Amino acid sequence: MSQVVEWNANRGAASRIAEVWSFREVIKNFVSQDLKVKYRRSTLGFVWSLLNPLLQMTVISIVFSLLFRMETGYALYVLSGILPWSFFATSMDGCAMSIVSAESMIRRQYFPKLVFPLSFVLQNLITFVLSLTVLMITLGPLPFVGLKFSAALLILPLSFVCIVSVAIGLGAIVAVITVFFRDVQHLITVFLSAWFYLTPVIYPLEKMPHRYQYFFKLNPMFGIIEMFHRPIYYATLPTMLEMTSAILVAAVSLTVGLYVFWRYEDSLIFAL
């Protein structure tokens, strides 16, 4: 056993990625099964994925518009921030317990452990893409929303790649940590709530005092969220600084996350 573990630990990234790819049908089945279970016995089904951000957008828009006199179309700003953040936060919660929840399956049959957090991220990605597309098509033409279908929207595929990379990277890390320290699952929710309010998701950075704006830009998620705010709300491309920040954060998160996960992957079974 020790020889097998040592050999697995020395495998390169290309070998491990190829192994995960060979289990793509398993991942597909996991994602399909999770989506069916999620909406099973639900009358509205997928509609709930639209209602949740829609209700959040409505409440936040009304409160901020009344208290802070936000401009017309602020609802679109909230929507373009809430949806990507919800995808990120839900992925973190799901990834945290992905390995622990699959303990019995892992003990019965061999799987590359990355299959489990990856399945959660892909499941949430499908909901995220469908929700954003449907809400933009249905709400976009409304006068009070003010969505402009500009060429800037063509940057959204890169926006998705960045936020998915961050979700996979950080999700892989929290999946490993939770196996060794189960209390982490409770701390993640608290941490994500604090991180949400420290990120310009529902309030424009321009509304903050100028002396504080620099510190908000240091937030790793700032550039990621702006990759959605800029094309959807402002109908412009992200600034070079925002785009560079988003790509850099995505690359570092994915690289470090996979390194940490694969570093401890073969020892996870002994901690379950």
Q: 80-92, pLDDT tens digit by residue?
A: 899 999 999 999 9
Instruction: Give the separation between CA 227 and CA 69, rounded to whole angstroms.
Output: 25
44-48, 53-57, 106-110: least confident range: 44-48
What pTM, to 2 d.p., does this model score? 0.86
Reading the block at residue 150, the tokens are 């500009």
Instruction: Select from 119, 122, 81, 86 the least CA-distant residue to 222.
Output: 81
Share of the chain above pLDDT 90, in %: 42
- Residue 185 one-letter amino acid: Q
Find the mean pLDDT for residues 101-129: 90
For the chain, how many structural domains are there in total?
1
DSSP structural state of residue 114? T
Q: Which helix (H) or strand (E) holds 85?
A: helix 74-96
pLDDT band with cut points at 50, 70 and 90 for residue 13 = confident
Question: Read out DSSP for 208-231?
Answer: S-HHHHHHHHTSHHHHHHHHHHII
* More reliable by pLDDT, 260 or 203: 260
Find the mean pLDDT for residues 28-57: 71
Neighbours of 225 (CB within 10 A): 23
Contacts for 230 with CB less than 8 Å, ≥ 6 apart: 152, 155, 236, 237, 238, 239, 242
pLDDT band with cut points at 50, 70 and 90 for residue 3 = very low
The residue segments making up the domain with residue 97 are 2-271
Find the mean pLDDT for residues 29-44: 73
